[in-house]
Structure 1
Amino acid sequence: MKSSPAIQAAIDLTAGAAGGTACVLTGQPFDTLKVKMQTFPDLYRGLTDCCLKTYSQVGFRGFYKGTSPALIANIAENSVLFMCYGFCQQVVRKVVGLEKQARLSDLQNAAAGSFASAFAALVLCPTELVKCRLQTMYEMESSGKIARSHNTVWSVVKSVLRRDGPLGFYHGLSSTLLREVPGYFFFFGGYELSRSFFASGRSKDELGPVPLMLSGGVGGICLWLAVYPVDCVKSRIQVLSMSGKQAGFIGTFISIVKNEGESAHCRNGVGVYRPVILL
């Protein structure tokens, strides 16, 4: 029996919120290390070095800097993403001329997920900016790029509003869109292909939790392998704009290649995102 659109939207919203919470609670320390290494590559030789220095500098709590905005970001992103995914599936059906209840191919589902991520990026960008700035506050202060201050969510929010106004929360929006839209094409593509593989001719709706979890892990790996360089640029724009005007996506990308080499965009990515398979 098909549920009503309102009930299905509520289910998708709840599922997205639960998924976002689980993602933050398990992955926040790795995300903190990722952002630190992306933004200050000269300070850390690798994942282990960054982990040890973070602990010695600010203690265990340093790994969970920015947890509250990260929690809001992930809940908002996943909720909007899953809620819009069903709507975007209907848009894809209309574009390709299918009936409302027709089953989409894996490629069509990937396209729907990609479209849905554009809506998610609009709620994700402001909270990710606050998160990234909190995660790298120690490095920004110790390098003299900003004055020492209270490192709280509210202090960062007030700083953004005072310096740039409400639009300041959207520093890095183009980078966020360039990461989310293609990234979720690969995520939903990998996820749906994996579900098809595990279903082996059966309905994908009959799959148990283990195949679904593995499918989600495959989707996550596909996403990060595809868009990690873009994420590196986004982190730098959102963090370094704290100390003044920062170049946009193209300018930052060219600067990284010119000063650090072509491989700089991918450095440190594999080690940090190994645990994505656990999601």
Structure 2
Amino acid sequence: MKTNNTIQAAIDLTAGAAGGTACVLTGQPFDTAKVKMQTFPNLYRGLADCAVKTYKQTGFRGFYKGTSPALLANISENSVLFMSYGFCQRVVRNLVGLEKNTPLSNLHNATAGSFAAAFASLALCPTELVKCRLQAMHEMKLSGKIIEGHNTVWSVVKSIISTDGPMGLYHGLSSTLLREVPGYFFFFGGYELGRTLFLSGEKTKDQLGVVPLMVSGGIGGISLWLVVFPVDCVKSRIQVLSMTGKQEGFMRTFARILRNEGVLALYSGLMPTLIRAFPANGALFVTYEYSRKLMMQQFED
């Protein structure tokens, strides 16, 4: 198989985009519940209460608020993430002195994923900002924090730019980096560990079927969220509440939540996140691996 670095990057980017699409379509309703419960923990007693109230207030479509920016966020994030992941794997291989075709260990892959997440954060932050604001718009109006809300992606983007300028699209960048960089160490580490556990005989990771990939992706997703969920909670607060004006930074927001609401508030919305993580990230990796494999076959001699 002959693929140069440019072709390999294009394959990883395209397969990552396909995986990101599958991830959103599988888990969007649970992501909506997560953002609502993180930002307004006092409004909801749990996942079931959030689901019932959301349906009563905005109907079934309310669970898919922010789907367009979520698709854009996940496609852009996973395109950059998996393209950078392939590049960072090569960097890690060079740093530890491994030959080109020598398989990386699970630790090496986890490290490459952590490096790649820094690049993905730059693509993710603006689109996730818009997604979070759309998802929590009803609660912001209900709580009286804003008088008039926005119902479309473009109206939210215009509001951000008119109020804070283009750099306003990067509200929450520091907390996004604090979530992504350590989180994707456990994400890729959990995924690769899961694939290792399914190996038997002479079988390689590339020969694993749909079920092992789905389970391994789920392990990776759950590993990520168990580690970084409090950081994600702070990020959601910053990105949603910043629409009311200047929002405090990460450390002050974190301290205020602890002081006023207690440590459990940092885990509000964890249940829908974990429920979502398994099928959504399983779908992501299955779609990514099979899309990548299909495209790689096109370059076989």
- CA change 1:200–1:2 in 2 (3 A) is farther
Partner of 2:222: 221
Counterpart in 2 of 1:158?
158
Is contact 1:47-1:272 (8 Å) kept? no
Equivalent residue of 2:121, what SS?
Answer: helix
Give matches, 1:130-209, under 5 Å: 130-200=130-200, 202-209=203-210
Q: Which runs of 4+ in 1 moved over 4 A?
A: none
Total equivalences in the alignment? 279
Q: Deviations over 1:74-120 (max 9, x none)?
A: 00111111101111011111211222322211101000000001100
Q: Provide the C-alpha distance between the structure 1 equivalents of 2:57 and 2:278, rounded to a whole number of angstroms.
A: 30
CA-based RMSD of the aligned residues comes to: 1.2
1:73 corresponds in structure 2 to 73
Corresponding residue for residue 106 of structure 1: 106
Aligned to 1:5: 5
Deviation at 1:2, TM superposition (A): 4.3
Equivalent position amino acid for 1:147 in 2: I
* AA aligned opposite 1:234: K
1:12-161 counterparts in 2 under 5 A? 12-161=12-161
**Cα displacement (A) at 1:207:** 1.2
The answer to which of 175-184 and 2-11 deviates more is 2-11
Q: Secondary structure at the match of 2:41?
A: coil
Counterpart amino acid of residue 215 in structure 2? L
5+ long unaligned stretches in structure 2: 283-301
**Alpha-carbon distance in 2 for matches of 1:61, 1:206:** 39
Q: Secondary structure at the match of 2:42?
A: coil
- Judged with a 3 Å threshold, the aligned counterparts in structure 2 of structure 1 residues 218 and 4 are, in CA distance, closer, same or farther, namely same
C-alpha separation between the residues in 2 aligned to 1:211 and 1:66? 31
Identical pairs, percent: 72
Deviation at 1:142, TM superposition (A): 1.7
- Tell me the SS of whatever aligns to 2:198: helix
CA distance in 2: counterparts of 1:150 and 1:203, whole angstroms: 50
- AA partner of residue 209 (structure 2): G
Query: Taking CA–CA contacts closer than 8 Å with sequence separation of 6 or more, which of the two structures ends up with the larger relative contact order?
Result: 2
Return the alpha-carbon distance in structure 1 between the equivalents of residues 200 and 183 of structure 2.
26
Q: Say which SS state the counterpart of residue 199 (structure 1) adopts.
A: coil
User: What TM-score results when the alignment is normalised by the length of structure 1?
Assistant: 0.97
SS of match in other structure, 2:55 = helix
CA contact (8 A) 2:54 2:63 kept: yes
**Corresponding residue of 1:277:** 278
Q: Deviation per CA, 1:194-235: give whole Å up to 9, x if none.
A: 111111353211212221111111101101111111100000
Question: Mean Cα displacement is larger for which, 215-224 or 98-107?
Answer: 98-107
Cα separation, 1, equivalents of 2:238 and 2:149? 21
* Structure 2 CA distance for aligned equivalents of residues 180 and 228 of structure 1: 11
Partner Cα distance (2:147, 2:29) in 1: 25
Cα distance in 2 for partners of 1:128, 1:175 equals 12
Q: Which residue of 2 aligns with 1:254?
A: 255
Equivalent residue letter for 2:240: V
Cα distance per residue 1:20-70 (max 9 Å; x no partner): 111111111110110000000111111111111111111111111111110
Classify the secondary structure of the residue corresponding to 1:32: helix
Q: Tell me if the contact between 1:233 and 1:249 (Cα under 8 Å) persists in the aligned partners.
A: yes
Deviation at 1:153, TM superposition (A): 0.8
For residue 267 of structure 1, report the CA deviation from its aligned partner.
2.7
Moved more, 202-211 or 34-43: 202-211
Could you tell me how far 1:5 is from its partner in structure 2? 2.1
Higher mean displacement: 167-176 or 147-156: 147-156
* Residues 172 and 239 in structure 2, CA contact (< 8 A), matched pair in contact too: yes
CA contact (8 A) 1:130 1:153 kept: yes
CA distance in 2, matches of 1:15, 1:67: 20
Q: Is the 8 A contact 1:129 1:238 kept in 2?
A: yes
